Amino acid sequence: MKQRSIGRSGLAVGALGLGCMGMSEFYGPTDEAQSLDTLAHALDRGVTLFDTADAYGFGHNEELLGRFAKGQRDRLTIATKFGLVRKPGAYERRVDNSPAYIRSACEASLKRLGVDTIDLYYAHRLNLETPLEDSIGALGELVEAGKIRAIGLSEVSADTLRRAAAIHPIAAVQSEYSLWTRDPEQGVLQACREVGAAFCAYSPLGRGFLTGQVASDTLDAKDFRRQNPRFADENAQQNQRIVDTVKSLAAEKGCTPAQLALAWLLAQGDDVIPIPGTKRIAYLDDNLGALDVALSADDLARIGAALPPGIAAGGRYTEEGMKGLNA
């Protein structure tokens, strides 16, 4: 698989990464054996960036990835996150970026992952209570101590990214980016290029909606998408036109909707690394097929015109989920 650099960190990863969140929570029933098989298949296919967070499954996701990494740590680039503090059994959360919390969260993640160093450590969300100088300073100390290799920020504004990069090099920004979420184009992508940070695109398939394989009324009762505004009945009906357009464009290119959506993201720049999440090998293989889809300048212009920014109906998250976004 072609490699892409994570900013100026010296880390290079496969052009498509793997989001591991759904292997522990949020997207219906989970199966550890199935997830471990998918992780192994991903690594065999050339995926090297594996993305998790301490908040996914209240630590379970890191433990799962840690079990997989055992004995082959040098083959994986592990990204994890801190800062979202959740209440057990609830979606409710608070954001903590205090230096003391950062240090304790890092130690806990290292233990769950079973590693000595985290390759890419993200602030999952930022709040306005802790001075940026304090939180970035604490992360810089973790770099100096060898606990982490590179610093990342998630869902930050362009101004915050520039301020953070003036304190310590930022290797990557992770935010939602897809054919129905074009927000990063409003300044964050430009700021990433100014400071030399890669952009890791999460939910590049619109939480599965863009594949045409997800219908709100068929989701598991505990699937968090049931509460997501874009999956709500009226919004979902309006957003179906986006899926229909993606399907039509994909048919013209002779690929699947998922492959078209990911190929479009890959074509946005060599510094963009999509991290589609899945717990199934079949979906993983479908996603990896995007690497073989070539989009011309005309193709990209046509796709962009058919699916302009702001086309999606409904917000990206509920009000609770919006805490700390674009701080």
pLDDT at residue 216 in the model: 64
pLDDT at residue 221 in the model: 67
Task: Tell me whether residue 24 is exposed, middle or buried, using C-beta atoms within 10 angstroms of its C-beta: 0 to 12, 13 to 18, 19 or more.
Answer: buried
Phi, psi of 280 (to 5 degrees): -125, 135
Full pLDDT tens readout for the chain, 327 residues: 999 999 999 999 999 999 999 899 777 778 999 999 999 999 999 999 999 999 999 999 999 999 999 999 999 999 999 999 987 766 677 899 999 999 999 999 999 999 999 999 999 999 888 999 999 999 999 999 999 999 999 999 999 999 999 999 999 999 999 999 999 999 999 999 999 999 999 999 998 889 987 766 676 666 767 677 888 878 888 888 999 999 999 999 999 999 999 999 999 999 999 999 999 999 999 999 999 999 999 999 999 999 999 998 777 766 665 656 666
**Dihedral angle computed from the Cα positions of residues 57, 59, 63 and 66, in that order, rounded to the nearest 10 degrees:** 110
Q: How far is CA 173 from CA 247, 270, 318, in A?
A: 29, 14, 22
Phi, psi of 85 (to 5 degrees): -105, 115
Element (H, E) at 5: strand 3-5
Active site annotation includes 56: yes
Output the six-digit token pair for 38. 């998918």
Of the candidates 305, 307, 223, which has an alpha carbon nearest to the alpha carbon of residue 257? 307
Question: Angle between the 188-195 and 158-167 helix axes, to the nearest 10 degrees?
Answer: 20
Residue carrying the six token digits 């409003």 = 186
pTM confidence score: 0.93
Of these residues, 27, 56, 177, 317, which one is catalytic? Answer: 56
Phi, psi of 291 (to 5 degrees): -65, -20
Of the candidates 167, 193, 203, 150, which has an alpha carbon nearest to the alpha carbon of residue 325? 203
Find the radius of gyration of the CA atoms of the chain. 19
**Dihedral angle computed from the Cα positions of residues 93, 278, 310 and 303, in that order, rounded to the nearest 10 degrees:** 170
Beta bridge partners of 118: 148
Phi-psi region of 277 (alpha: psi -120 to 50; beta: other; left: phi over 0): beta
Element (H, E) at 281: helix 281-288
Domains contained in the chain, CATH given: 3-205+258-297 (3.20.20.100)
Residues 6+ away with beta carbon under 8 Å from 261: 178, 179, 204, 205, 206, 210, 211, 246, 290
pLDDT at residue 313 in the model: 78
